[in-house]
Chain A
C-alpha cells in the first residue's frame, strides 16, 4: 500500500476528454452520426482511462494531478483518484456509455430538437462529474459542483417550454444558490477552524481538536449543501420538477451524475473531511450526534418520499420520489457508525444507479413508443412492450430489496450495520433499521401496481390508479373508448362493493341515448346519480332548465366579437370525455408532442406545469379547477400533449420471438435497458467480482477506528 500519491495525468485526462469532445460534438452538428460517434468515443475513452486506474487503486495506490496552489493558504486545485473517487468515477463513466446509446435512440425516436446542444451539454456535465469524483479538496469539489449545475441546466430546460424553464430555474435556485452557497460557507468555515480543506482518509485531524460547536455548524452546512443535490427533504422539490426534462436527462440526473454527486459529496464530508468517528462523537442534546441527525433526516425523507410516491399517477413523478427515497438510504447509511453500515451505504450508490437507470429508461421507452406517461393508462401495456416492462419488473423487484438484485445486498449490509450500532452504541439506530424495513414494504406498495397493471390487467377492466385515491377493493376503469354509446358496467369485485356507480358510467350515460337514465330502472346498481349530480364544478355555474339540461346562455348583446366564443363545457360532450388524436381546437386531446413549440395553448400547459405536484393551487387553474383532484379520467390529462393509452382496439400484442427480437422498440433503447438491468442483477449476485464490493471494503477499511472495524 503506497502512502504517497503518484503524480499521474490520468485524473485530468478523465475530466478533459469529454470537455474536449464537446467542442467536436458542436463542430459536427451537421452530421448527426459523426456527432453521436464523438459522444460514444468520448464515453468509451473516459471509461478506459478510469478503468485503467482501477487495478492500481484496488492495491492501494492513489493518483494525483495538481494545478498548484491557486488560493491563499496553499489550497491547491488538485484532482486525486483514490478509492472513493474511483467508485463514483467508475460508475458514472461506465453508465455514460449506456446512457449515450439510449440518448441516441430516445432523441431520434422522439424527434427532438436541439440535439447538438443536448449532446454537448451532456459531455460537459460528465466532465464536471469526473471533476467531482476526483476532487482532492473541498474547494475543487465546490468548483466542479457548481460547474455541474451550470452544465446540466440546458439539459433540464431542453424543451424550452415555460414549464421546462421554470423547472430549470428552480433547479439552479436549489442546487447552485442553495446547495452551492451552503457548501462554500461550510468550506470557508472548515478552513477557518482547521486550516486544511484536503480530503484525508479518516478525517482532517485538526477538525477533531477544533471547537465542537463550529465543527457541528460546518458539518451541517456541508452536509445540507451537498444534501440538496442528494434530494433530502425538505429541499428536494427541484427533483420532481426536473422530470420535465427528456428521459435520458432524468436518468443522468437521477441515477448517474447529479444526485449521486450529492450523495458522493456527503460521503466525502463524512468519510474524508470529518471522519466517521468525529461525526459520531459530535454530540447534540437528547443523545443525538451529528451522524445520527443525518441518518434521521435520511430516515424521515425515506419514509415521506415513499408515501408521496404512492399517490403519483405520472410514472416519472413516481420514479422521482422513489429516487428521493432511495438516495436517503445512502444518507442514512453514512450516519451509521460501523463497518457494515458504511459498506451498505456506499454499495447503494452503484446499486441504486443501475436499478433507477433501468426504470427511467423504461419510462422513457414507453413515452417514445406509445406516448403513455400515466400509470392509469398503462393497463395491459406489457403486451405491447414486454421486454421494457419485464426490465421494469426486475428493477422494481430490486428497489424493494428482493434477492438476486443489487438492492438486496446494500440493504442487507445497512440493516446489519444498524442493528450492530443499536446494540453497541445507541438504541436510536433500531428506529433507523425500522425505517429501512418499512421502506421495503412501501416500495412494494408503489411499484407492484405498475407491474400488475402492465402485465395482468386488461385495458377495459382494470383498477383505477393511484390506488389510494379510490375505493377499497378497487374501482373498475377502462381506457378503451366505448363505441356503443355506453352501458352500465358490471360492478367491480371489491371486498365491500357498495352500490355506488362509477363516474365513468355516469359520464358515458350522459353521452347519448343509453339504457342508463335517471328514470329507467337500473339492474343491480343502487342509485345512479343523474346528470345534475355529476360532481363537475363547471356544471354548477351553467344555467340549467327545469329538467336539469344545460342550456348555455347565448345572449350576444354584450359579447366582444374580437374574442372567440366561450367554450361551454357541460362535461358530457364525447370529444371531452373521449379525447382523440385529432387536433381539435379547445379540445381535450391535443395534436402532437409539446416539442412543437409555439401554440397559444401552451400557456395553459405551463400553468399545469406542476400538475402532478401535491399543491392543488386553485389560483393557477382557472378553467380546469378540480379536474385532477377527481377520479383519473382521460379528460384530466390534458397537459401531456399527445393522448397516451392504448389505441382503439387495445394494445398490439408482441409476443414470443418477436418480443425477443426487440420489435416493440429499437435496440438503441432496449440495449441500454437490458444492460442496466443485467448490471443490477450482476451486482446482486457477484458484487465482489464486479469490483464494487472490493473497492468499497478498501474505502471503509482505511477510514474506521479500531473498535468498529470489520469484525
Chain B
C-alpha cells in the first residue's frame, strides 16, 4: 500500500484546491479543483484493496483522535463523493459559476470528506460544524433571497449541531471510567453512540437527514443559490448525515426504519405539490433518505443485507439526485424560468438534457436497468420481512409505506418531466446544455446506468460484499417478481398522476408544509423573548435610576423631603451630631456582628 495514499488526507488537498480556484484564472482553477476531487475518488478506490485502518491517529485538544479512518463504510462514501464532486466541478465550470461558488463548494466538499474519514467523535463533530458553516457560505454567496434563507439554514443547522455536540459530550462523559480518559471519543472504544446520548444524537443527526418536522430547511434553502451550488448542496449534507447515523446506531432500530418509511411518503407527497423544480427535488431528498434510513434501521431485525441495501441506496442516490439537479439546473440556467408551469415542450430543443433527465428519473423511480432499481429493491425486500403491523397482501406497514413512497416518486417525476419537457409546445427556445455541463451529467448518468446493469460492481463497493454474494443470501434483482413489482409501480404511477392531477393541483394551492406554523412560531417566540428581556431590563433600570435619584434628592434636601411627608421640623445637623450618629450606627452594627 503506497504510503502516500494512507498519509495524505484528501480533505487537506481539497482545501488547498479551494484556495487555488480563487487564486488562479477560471479555467486552470477549475482544472485544479477537478484534479483534487478526482484524487479523492481514486484514492478511495485504491485504498479499497487492503488500505483499511485507522491512519493519522494522533492527539488533538488532549484526546486521542483518528484523522483518516479507512474502513468499508468510509471508503464507499469517499468513492461516491469524490466521483460526484468531480462531475459537479465540471458542471460548475460549464454553468459559468463564479470562482467563489466553486471555491466555497470545494471547501464544503473538504469538510464533508473530513466528516466521512473521521475515526472518532471529536473529529466528526469538528468537521460536522465546519460543514454547516461552509454550506451556509455557499448558499449566501448567491445573494438576494438566498441570504435570509441561508440565515434560517444556519440557525437550523446550528441547533442541530448543538444537539449533536451535546450527544458527543454526553457520550464522552459517559465513557469516562470504562476507557482511558484520552480514548473516550474513539470509534474503536465502543460501537455506536452511548445509550444516554441516543435522543440527542437522533435529533442532531436527524436535522441533517431531514426527519419529518426537522426537514423544512431543505425545500427552503436548496432552491435558492446558483444552480451549480445546488448540485453540491443536494448530495453532501444529507447523505453524510445518513452515514453518521449509521456510525451512531450501527444496530439500527425499528424506530429508525419506520421513521424512514414515513419520510418516504411525506417527502414524495409534498414533492407532488411543488411547482419549483428544485423544491420538488429537495422534498425528494427527504423521501430518498427515508429509504436509506429504512435500510439502516433494519440492521438488527433483518441483518447486514438491509444495511447494504441502505448504503447502496445512498451511493446510488448521490449519483442520480445530483444528475437530476444538474438537468433541472440546465433548464433553469438556459431559460431563466423557475416555475415548471412556464416551461414545456423542451424535449425537442434540449434533447441531451431530456435524455439525461430520463436517466435520472428512471434511476430514482427504480426502473429496471438503472442503479436505483437494485438498491431500492434491496431495501424493499428487507422491509418485506417486517410483519409488525400487517396490512394488505401479507405485507407490513413498513413495506406499504415504502411502496406508497415509490408510487409517489413515480408520480412526481412524471409530473416534472411532463411539465418541463412536454406539456404544450415550446414557448421558449433555449439552447441545450454546454459541453462541460454535458460532461458532468454524462459522468453521473453513465454511472447510474453502469451500476444498474453491472450491479455486481455496485456490490463490490459496498460493505459486507462476500456476505451478499454468498449462497446464504437470495440476491437476484432481476427476478420476475422484482420486475413485476416494478411494472405495477410504474403503472400505478402513471395512472395516479393523470387521475389525481386535479386534486393535487388544488392541494398545491392550499396545503402548506409545517413551516407555515413553525417559522412564525419561532420568529415570534424569539422576538417575544428578546423584547421581553430588553423591556424588562429597561423597566428595572428605570426603576433603579428613579430610586437612586429619589434617594439622592432626599439626602440633599432632607427638609423638603420630610416636609413632603407631612412633617414640618427643623433639621439641623452639624458635624458633631453626624459623627455621633454614624459612630452609634457603626457601633451597633459591630456589636451585632460580633455577637452573631
- A residues at B contact (CB < 8 Å): 234, 237, 304, 307-308, 310-311, 397, 400-404, 408-409, 412, 415-416, 419-420, 423, 433, 437-438, 440-441, 444-445, 448-449, 452, 455-458, 461, 463, 468, 472-474, 493, 495-496, 613-617, 687-688, 693, 710-711
Q: How far is the CB of A492 from chain B (nearest CB, A)?
A: 9
How many A-B contacts if CB must be within 8 Å? 128
The CA-CA distance from A456 to B529 in the complex, in Å, is 28
What's the minimum C-beta distance from A450 to chain B, rounded to whole angstroms? Answer: 11
New contact pairs (10) apart from A310-B530, A474-B148, CB-CB < 8 Å:
A307-B533, A408-B129, A412-B165, A419-B172, A441-B155, A445-B155, A463-B147, A472-B520, A472-B524, A615-B538
Q: With A468-B527, A711-B176, A711-B181 as known contacts, state yes or no: A234 contacts B540, CB within 8 Å.
A: yes
Closest 7 pairs between A and B when the two form their complex, measured CB to CB: A614-B538, A419-B173, A493-B145, A403-B126, A415-B169, A444-B158, A615-B538
CA distance A473 to B148 in the complex (A): 7
Which residues does chain B contribute within 8 Å of A463, judged by CB atoms? 147-148
Collect the chain B residues with CB atoms within 8 Å of residue A449's CB: 151
Distance of A404 Cα from B176 Cα, bound (Å): 25
Collect the chain B residues with CB atoms within 8 Å of residue A304's CB.
Answer: 533, 537
* Residue pair B147, A456 in contact (C-beta under 8 Å): yes
B residues contacting A by CB (< 8 A) are 61-62, 122, 125-127, 129-130, 133, 136, 140-141, 143-145, 147-148, 150-151, 154-155, 158-159, 162, 165-166, 169-170, 172-174, 176-177, 181, 515, 519-520, 523-524, 526-527, 529-531, 533-535, 537-538, 540-542, 545
Tell whether, in the assembled complex, residue A452 and residue B61 are in contact, meaning their CB atoms are under 8 Å apart.
no
Q: By the criterion CB–CB under 8 Å, are A687 and B520 in contact?
A: no
Is there contact, CB below 8 Å, between B143 and A457? Answer: yes
Whole-angstrom CA separation of A711 from B145 in the bound complex = 50
Shortest CB–CB separation between residue B53 and chain A, in angstroms?
24
Which single residue of chain A is at the shortest CB-CB distance from B533?
A307
In-complex Cβ contact of B147 among A397, A457, A496, A616 (8 A): A457
Whether the pair A615, B542 counts as a contact (CB closer than 8 A) is yes
Could you tell me the distance between the alpha carbons of A474 and B519 in the complex, rounded to whole angstroms? 13
- In the complex, residue of chain B having the shortest beta-carbon distance to the beta carbon of A610: B541
Min CB gap A491→B, angstroms = 12
| A433 near B147: Cβ-Cβ < 8 Å | no
Using Cβ atoms and an 8 Å threshold, which residues of chain B touch A444? 154-155, 158
> Is the CB–CB distance between B154 and A448 below 8 Å?
yes
Closest chain B residue to A687 by CB distance?
B61
Q: What's the Cα separation between A688 and B59 when bound, in Å?
A: 11
CB of A402 within 8 A of CB of B130, answer yes
The reply to whether B181 and A403 contact each other, CB–CB distance below 8 Å, is: no
Question: Contact: B534 with A308, CB < 8 Å?
Answer: yes
Q: Are B159 and A441 in contact (CB under 8 A)?
A: yes
**What's the Cα separation between A461 and B145 when bound, in Å?**
10
In whole angstroms, how far apart are the Cα atoms of A419 and B170 in the complex? 6
Check A452/B140 contact, CB under 8 A, given A307-B529, A441-B158, A493-B145: yes
Q: A304-B533, A307-B530 are in contact. Are A440 and B147 (CB under 8 A)?
A: no
**Nearest residue, chain B, Cβ from A343:** B62
30 sample A-B contacts, Cβ–Cβ < 8 Å, listed by A number: A237-B541, A308-B537, A311-B531, A311-B534, A400-B158, A402-B130, A403-B127, A403-B130, A412-B169, A415-B166, A415-B169, A419-B169, A423-B174, A433-B166, A437-B162, A440-B162, A444-B155, A448-B154, A452-B140, A452-B147, A456-B143, A456-B150, A458-B143, A461-B144, A472-B519, A473-B148, A493-B144, A615-B538, A687-B61, A711-B177
Instruction: Evaluate contact between A452 and B62: CB separation under 8 angstroms.
Output: no
User: What is the minimal beta-carbon distance from B501 to any residue of chain A, in angstroms?
Assistant: 28
Which residues of A are found within 8 Å of B148, using beta-carbon distances? Answer: 463, 473-474, 493
Do the beta carbons of B151 and A452 come within 8 Å of each other? yes
Asked if B520 and A496 sit within 8 Å, CB to CB, the answer is yes
Q: In the docked arrangement, what's the CA distance between A668 and B119, Å?
A: 43
Cβ-defined contact, B538 with A613, below 8 A: yes
Selected from B141, B147, B150, B535, the residue in CB contact (under 8 A) with A614 is B535
> Please, which residue of chain A has its CB at the minimum distance from the CB of B197?
A419
Q: Which residues of B contact A415 (CB under 8 A)?
A: 165-166, 169
Report chain A residues within 8 Å CB of B151.
448-449, 452
Residue pair A404, B530 in contact (C-beta under 8 Å): no
On whether the beta carbons of B129 and A688 are closer than 8 Å, the reply is: no
Known contacts A402-B130, A444-B158, A449-B151; A423/B61 CB under 8 A: no
- CB pair A616 B129 closer than 8 Å: no
Which residues of B sit under 8 angstroms from A474, Cβ to Cβ? 148
In whole angstroms, how far apart are the Cα atoms of A384 and B524 in the complex?
35
Contact residues in B for A400 (Cβ distance below 8 Å): 158
Give Cα distance in the complex from A616 to B127, angstroms: 44
User: What's the Cα separation between A455 and B527 when bound, in Å?
Assistant: 25
Chain B residues whose C-beta falls within 8 Å of the C-beta of A311 in the assembled complex: 530-531, 534
Q: Please determine whether A693 and B169 come into contact, CB atoms closer than 8 angstroms.
A: no
Chain A residues, CB < 8 A from B136: 448
A554 to B159, CA, bound (A): 60
Inside 8 A of B140's CB, which chain A residues have their CB? 452, 455-456
The complex places the Cα of A524 from the Cα of B554 at a distance, in Å, of 61
Chain A residues closer than 8 Å to B159, beta-carbon distance = 441
Residues of A within 8 A of B181 (CB): 710-711
Most A C-beta atoms less than 10 A away, residue of B519, B535, B537: B537
Residues of B within 8 A of A615 (CB): 538, 541-542, 545
How near does chain B come to A683, taking the closest CB pair, in angstroms? Answer: 11
Q: Name the B residues within 8 Å of A448 (CB-CB).
A: 136, 151, 154-155
Q: Which residue of A lies closest to B128 (CB)?
A: A403
* CB closest residue in chain B, given A449: B151
Q: Complex formed: what's the CA distance from A199 to B314 in Å?
A: 60
Q: Which residues of the other chain, A, contact B155 by a CB distance below 8 angstroms?
A: 441, 444-445, 448
What is the bound-complex CA distance between A59 and B145, given in angstroms?
57
Inter-subunit contact A614/B541 (CB<8 Å)? yes
Residues of A within 8 A of B172 (CB): 416, 419
Contact B176 A420 (CB under 8 A): yes
Are A617 and B62 closer than 8 Å at their CB atoms? no
**In the complex, residue of chain A having the shortest beta-carbon distance to the beta carbon of B150:** A452
Smallest Cβ-Cβ distance to A456: which chain B residue: B140
Q: Which residues of B contact A307 (CB under 8 A)?
A: 529-530, 533-534
A617 to B549, CA, bound (A): 14
Q: Which residue of B lies closest to A494 (CB)?
A: B148
Knowing A402-B130, A455-B140, A688-B62 touch, does A468 contact B530 (C-beta < 8 A)? yes
Expressed in whole angstroms, the Cα–Cα distance for A378 and B325 within the complex equals: 35
In the complex, what distance in Å separates the CA atom of A437 from the CA atom of B200? Answer: 12
Bound CA–CA A473/B523 (angstroms): 9
Cβ of B529: which chain A residues have Cβ within 8 Å of it?
307
On whether the beta carbons of B61 and A409 are closer than 8 Å, the reply is yes
- A456 CB contacts on chain B under 8 angstroms: 140-141, 143, 147, 150
Closest B residue by C-beta to A409: B61
| Residue numbers in B under 8 Å from A468 (CB-CB) | 526-527, 530-531
List the B side residues contacting A493 at CB < 8 Å.
144-145, 148
Beyond A419-B169, A711-B181, is A402–B162 a contact (Cβ under 8 Å)? no
Contacts of B515 in A (CB 8 A): 495
Alpha-carbon distance between A207 and B255 when the two chains are bound, in angstroms: 55
Distance (Å) between the CB of A38 and the closest chain B CB? 40
Contact of B125 with A403 in the complex, beta carbons under 8 Å: yes
Residue B130 contacts which of A404, A457, A693 (CB distance < 8 angstroms)?
A404
User: Contacts of B127 on A, CB cut-off 8 Å?
Assistant: 403
Name B537's closest neighbour in chain A (CB-CB).
A614
Residues of B within 8 A of A420 (CB): 173, 176
Q: Specify the chain A residue showing the minimal Cβ separation from B127.
A: A403
Bound CA span A693–B63, Å: 13
User: CA of A420 to CA of B184 in the docked complex: distance in angstroms?
Assistant: 13
B484 to chain A, nearest CB (A): 45
* Residue contact A616 to B538, C-beta cutoff 8 Å: yes
Chain B contacts for A687, CB-based, 8 A:
61
CB-defined contacts of A402 to chain B, threshold 8 Å: 129-130, 133
Q: How far is the CB of A163 from chain B (nearest CB, A)?
A: 16
- Which of these, B61, B523, B535, contacts A412 with CB under 8 Å? B61
Bound form: Cα–Cα A229–B568 in Å: 44
Contacts of A614 in B (CB 8 A): 534-535, 537-538, 541
